[in-house]
Structure 1
């Protein structure tokens, strides 16, 4: 039974939607040819136009893989100019003195609940950490969770969440004690044995970095799974009062100065632009 042929405009909309809804997923041109009743050469032309549009808009590219098991894949990214605009916008929002909290912290919860901000941060993480370089995204409850899922949606990678308190619904757990970098207190972190496969490559994400204790705790916890952290991303970092316990990270913002007495703060770009990758390296794919 022949498949009704769709108009090209309809087909291109559906292909674009498939790419955007399933980033880093390999689509077979042969299967698409069967689905749309179109020649693979026509579909290749469609994909080429979509790729050009994605690259022009700065939202990523489409990579073609040759061979019997080949196909096409949308790889999300973000143009440098878009990343710069995002950082400038966030600095303007965060430098509001009403955000100052006791203890040298800054209120960020509203940003972590803003879907537009989260989508943009997810795209930025996708530009910095191409999906082929890691298998799992890890965070710790609670405020790192929205950032982790923003990256998860952009990269199509699974999220695992370390808990500070054990949960019976998590099943068998691996638990470690770690030193909080900010107050040097001993705290507990747990992760289900089912969540991280042995040998997995893991991207760590958190909302705030000062002493680095939480990031180091997550890194140490991963060692119990024989997993490897490939890097860490934080929304904001601040100067540590002592020795920082974990420093292999990329930060979007940096809290440069906070004066509780005079209710003033200064925020600048983190180290994100010094670590920027304009294009992903696909040689290892």
Structure 2
């Protein structure tokens, strides 16, 4: 590769790190690519750290030792998070989102790459310290935000199905009770999906009574795995008998009034 000037190396290093979040790159890796001394690259990485810090888009961590190096951890500031969630609430409050039956149309939000990507980064910030091996979700609407959470953490996404799929081979299935409707439902997961003893987090788009989340916890026990955290985009309030207690929600939905065309939703208090 042609020798690059410092500003070009800094841009290239930032590109490599941001494309591979939570992956450790050694100075030797960059030294080989750019044909530069490690001392020079250390100075470059110091500049990269300052750029990321000033942009408030995460942190660049340096790890000492023979197995050390540098990695990028995506993130946003608390102020930006609060502003973003408030904007989402304003988007959802519009009366034209109300669907007959007291439901909300949110597909354009959940399936927006820009929005779901930021939701994923926020979720990743809350659960990074849990050191998860997998992000779990249940088909289908939770998939985009769970995928973006998995991307920010750079760990696999595992999708739990509501029925068996021939293409997934042998599966484990359990019956669980929906907390809101009190109906018996089924969830299934391929035996090849997760490794025994893994740590997982469960990400979903909506929570009422927490029956689905509780079902996921029970399902993972069949794999000798643990659910270390639960994150949902929206939780419905009020709900006195939540089947799970420890979770993070980004928004609280208080009520939907079809006659008045009113939706009461606001940023949640973190749990």
User: Which one of 213, 218, 221 corresponds to residue 215 of structure 1?
Assistant: 213
Q: Compute the displacement of 1:240 (Å).
A: 5.3
| Aligned counterpart for 1:153 among listed residues 151, 154, 161 | 151
* 1:122 and 1:154 in contact (8 A); partners too: yes
Moved more, 148-157 or 187-196: 148-157
1:130 aligns with 2:122: no
Distance in 2 (CA, whole Å) between partners of 1:39 and 1:241 is 60
Provide the secondary structure at the position in 2 that maps to 1:110: helix
Aligned partner of residue 214 in structure 1, secondary structure: helix
Q: Secondary structure at the match of 1:83?
A: helix
Displacement of 1:241 in angstroms is: 5.3
Counterpart for residue 192 of structure 2:
194
The TM-score normalised by the length of structure 2 is: 0.95
Q: Which residue of 1 aligns with 2:253?
A: 255
Q: Secondary structure in 2 aligned to 1:35?
A: helix
CA contact (8 A) 2:130 2:229 kept: no
Quick one: structure 1 residues 239 and 103, their matched pair in 2 at CA, closer, same or farther if it must change by over 3 Å?
farther
**Local SS of the residue matching 1:194:** coil
Q: What residue in structure 2 maps to residue 52 of structure 1?
A: 50
**Does the CA-based 8 Å contact 1:211-1:240 persist in structure 2?**
no
Residue-by-residue CA offset, 1:111-154 (whole Å, 9 max, x unaligned): 01111111211121122121662110000000000111111222
Give, in angstroms, the shift of residue 103 of structure 1. Answer: 4.0
The TM-score, its normalising length taken from structure 1, stands at 0.91
Contact 2:200 / 2:225 at 8 angstroms: preserved in 1?
yes
* 2:232 partner SS: strand
Instruction: Judge which range, 253-262 or 42-51, deviates more.
Output: 253-262
Contact 2:123 2:149 in 1 (8 A): yes
Cα RMSD between the aligned structures? 1.5
Query: Is it true that 1:14 corresponds to 2:12 in the alignment?
Result: yes
1:104 aligns to what?
A: 102
Partner of 2:91: 93
What pairs with 1:158-169 in structure 2 (closer than 5 Å)? 158-169=156-167
Shift of 1:81: 1.0
Does the 8 A contact of 1:202 with 1:230 survive in 2?
yes
Tell me, yes or no, if the aligned pair for 2:10 and 2:47 is still in contact at 8 Å.
Answer: no
Indicate the larger mover: 97-106 or 60-69: 97-106
Residues 112 and 118, structure 1, Cα contact 8 Å, conserved in 2: yes
**Match of residue 230 from structure 1:** 228
Shift of 1:233: 0.7
In structure 2, C-alpha distance between the alignment counterparts of 1:20 and 1:194, rounded to whole Å: 30
Q: Distance in 1 between matches of 2:184 and 2:237?
A: 21
| 1:257 CA displacement | 2.0
What is the Cα deviation at residue 105 of structure 1? 2.7
Which residue pairs with 1:183 in the alignment?
181
Measured in 2, the distance between the counterparts of 1:240 and 1:215 equals: 17
1:72 aligns with 2:83: no
Q: How big is the shift at 1:263?
A: 2.2
